[in-house]
Amino acid sequence: MPVPFARPEVAAVETQEIAVPQGAAAAFGRRVRKAGGGLLGLVLVAALGVSGCQRKAEPEAPVRPVRLLQLSPATGKTEFEFSGDIRPRIESRLGFRVGGKISARLVDVGAAVQKGQPLARLDPTDLALAESGARAQFDAARTDRDLAASDLKRYKELAARNFISSAELSRRQATYDSAASRLEQAQASLRNQSNQTGYAVLTADANGVVTAIDAEVGQVVSPGQPVVRVAQTAEKEVAIGLPEDQVDMLRGLSDVSIHTWSEPDRVLPGRVREISAAADPVTRTYPTRVTIPNPPADLRIGMTAVVAFSRTGTAAAIRIPLTALLQQKGSNQVWVYTPGQDGTGTVKPVPVTLGEAQGNLIEIRQGLAPGQAIVTAGVHLLKAGQRVKPMQSVAPAQPASNPGVRIGALARHLG
């Protein structure tokens, strides 16, 4: 039995109600309507339109690897560690007090020297000649002085007998005084020249060790030019650099300890001697010197040392690395990790209240509790409820017997 055609008005209404967004379906529908539009054509057009409107399901977010840190409370005692090297308190650049040609170098780098020990010598030829000339002038001035003294004595006897006038006696007295003054001048010149000859030998002014040689044999040096560097071993200290955000906080601390890299178990007391008022233009840190009272003899110059500043507070606190913080809409939050069954887990944002910053760490006053695990890297790539997988086993909390925080060591571990 043939299918009757639909009425025109009904067909028009049904055609308007079918939406055909895709090009192929729309073209097919137009062809069907031109042919008169049957029920079968309308069904096909509707099927094509519905299939074109379907949306693909969004893929599930991938499991992202994260770095975790388990929180533990730290007591008020905090240690700030800074690496440095052992240096002498005084290092002198010794040079000759006269100019000349170096004829001998008597020490090498690393040699231990005693006060007064010769270090180098100059060619003494010119200095010896100058000393001989000064000695000759001194002898001539002494002869003139003796002759003037003899004349003055004789003229005094003549004046006592009134054989000469008082004016003549005054001239003889002036001649003697002038000769005596020339003798004193010649004597001072001779002493000065003798000292110059003695300066041809460079000697150590204190006990120490030779750290550098700045001039060699055959070189002509000027007065005061550095030739040998001698570091005094009586006083030693550690040179470190303090960051600008911790200078004021560490300036007043008196609990300072020092240990070397070669002997970490031997702890030496320290005392901050000076903190530079200007930052180093290269490192942008403030050069600081920490003195070691009564340094042991085996503490050699140039050894690597670690200076620890200890500060004791009154309350426990939780400190996290700055990389764990995420700012969203003006608030600070931390991603807290919740473990699952298959080695993965989920994360959720937790608002926190911040406290004092200490280097790469910051104190959390509210929002977190000991024992929780937080994400410390890639926090800006996470979403609430996202599945994550730890990159390593969660670091255990600090034992109760050693709850303090070492800022330097912890910062290196997190980095």
| CATH code for the domain in which residue 216 is found | 2.40.50.100
CATH number of residue 194's parent domain: 1.10.287.470
290: enclosing H helix or E strand: strand 286-292
**Structure tokens that stand for 73 in this block:** 């409370």
2 within a domain of the structure (yes/no): no
306 touches 270 (CB < 8 A): no
358 within a domain of the structure (yes/no): yes
More confident residue, 76 or 112: 112
Q: Looking at the structure, tell me whether residues 114 and 135 fall in a common domain.
A: no
Q: Looking at the structure, tell me whether residues 377 and 262 fall in a common domain.
A: no
Look at residue 347 and give its three-state secondary structure: strand
**Structure tokens that stand for 230 in this block:** 């001698």
- Can you tell me the mean pLDDT for 317-338? 88
142 within a domain of the structure (yes/no): yes
Look at residue 190 and give its three-state secondary structure: helix
Q: What is the mean pLDDT of the chain?
A: 81
The confidence score (pLDDT) of residue 316 equals 63
The confidence score (pLDDT) of residue 313 equals 60
pLDDT at 236 over 50: yes
285 within a domain of the structure (yes/no): yes
The confidence score (pLDDT) of residue 55 equals 58
The confidence score (pLDDT) of residue 61 equals 66
CATH number of residue 410's parent domain: 2.40.420.20
Reported pTM = 0.55
Q: Looking at the structure, tell me whether residues 407 and 326 fall in a common domain.
A: yes
Question: For residue 31, what are the contacts with CB-CB under 8 A and spacing of at least 6?
Answer: none
**Cα(250)–Cα(404) distance, integer angstroms:** 17
352 within a domain of the structure (yes/no): yes
The confidence score (pLDDT) of residue 126 equals 92
58 within a domain of the structure (yes/no): no
Q: Looking at the structure, tell me whether residues 320 and 406 fall in a common domain.
A: yes
- Report which of 79, 121, 80, 78 is spatially closest to residue 102, judged by C-alpha positions: 121
Q: Is the dihedral of CA 170, 173, 179, 182 positive or negative?
A: negative
Q: Write out pLDDT tens, residues 13-55.
A: 344 444 444 554 445 455 545 444 444 444 444 444 445 455 5
Q: Looking at the structure, tell me whether residues 119 and 206 fall in a common domain.
A: yes
Quick one: DSSP state of residue 74? B
How many Å from the N-terminal Cα to the C-terminal Cα in the chain? 84
End residue of a domain, out of 269, 287, 311: 311
CATH number of residue 274's parent domain: 2.40.30.170
Q: What is the CA radius of gyration of the chain?
A: 47
**Cα(352)–Cα(331) distance, integer angstroms:** 8
What is the band of 251 on the pLDDT scale with cuts at 50, 70, 90? confident
- Report which of 104, 93, 97, 94 is spatially closest to residue 199, judged by C-alpha positions: 97
3 within a domain of the structure (yes/no): no
What is the band of 394 on the pLDDT scale with cuts at 50, 70, 90? low
End residue of a domain, out of 311, 334, 368: 311
Query: Which residue is it, tokens 């001779």?
Result: 190
Q: Write out pLDDT tens, residues 102-146.
A: 999 999 999 999 999 999 999 999 999 999 999 999 999 999 999
pLDDT at 72 over 60: yes
Q: Looking at the structure, tell me whether residues 140 and 153 fall in a common domain.
A: yes
**Structure tokens that stand for 57 in this block:** 């399901």
1 within a domain of the structure (yes/no): no
The residue range of the domain holding 24 is 8-53
The confidence score (pLDDT) of residue 268 equals 93
**Cα(301)–Cα(283) distance, integer angstroms:** 22
Per the structure, the count of domains in the chain is: 5
207 touches 274 (CB < 8 A): no
Q: Cα 216–220–222 angle (5° rounding)? A: 110
**Cα(270)–Cα(291) distance, integer angstroms:** 6
Percent of the chain with pLDDT over 70: 77
The confidence score (pLDDT) of residue 318 equals 84
Q: Looking at the structure, tell me whether residues 322 and 409 fall in a common domain.
A: yes
**Structure tokens that stand for 259 in this block:** 């240990």
Q: Looking at the structure, tell me whether residues 205 and 223 fall in a common domain.
A: yes
25: enclosing H helix or E strand: helix 23-34
Q: Looking at the structure, tell me whether residues 386 and 397 fall in a common domain.
A: yes
248 touches 96 (CB < 8 A): no
Question: For residue 249, what are the contacts with CB-CB under 8 A and spacing of at least 6?
Answer: 311
The confidence score (pLDDT) of residue 360 equals 82
Q: Looking at the structure, tell me whether residues 149 and 193 fall in a common domain.
A: yes
**Cα(388)–Cα(379) distance, integer angstroms:** 12
pLDDT at 362 over 50: yes
The confidence score (pLDDT) of residue 133 equals 94
Q: Looking at the structure, tell me whether residues 133 and 222 fall in a common domain.
A: no
Alpha-carbon distances of 5 from 36, 38, 405, rounded to whole Å: 8, 7, 88
The pairs formed by 363-366 with CB atoms below 8 angstroms and a separation of 24 or more are 363/317, 363/318, 363/319, 364/317, 364/318, 364/319, 364/320, 364/334, 365/317
Q: Can you spell out the DSSP letters for 204-265? A: -SSSEEEEEE---TT-EE-TT---EEEEESS-EEEEEEE-TTTHHHHHT---EEEEESS-TT
Quick one: DSSP state of residue 399? P
End residue of a domain, out of 281, 311, 341: 311
The confidence score (pLDDT) of residue 217 equals 95
Q: Looking at the structure, tell me whether residues 329 and 400 fall in a common domain.
A: yes
Look at residue 381 and give its three-state secondary structure: helix
Amino acid at 93: R
Q: Write out pLDDT tens, residues 269-303.
A: 999 999 999 999 999 999 999 999 988 888 989 99
78 touches 311 (CB < 8 A): yes
b (16+ CB within 10 A) / e for 136-173: ebbeebbebbeebeeebeebeeebeeeebeeeebeebe
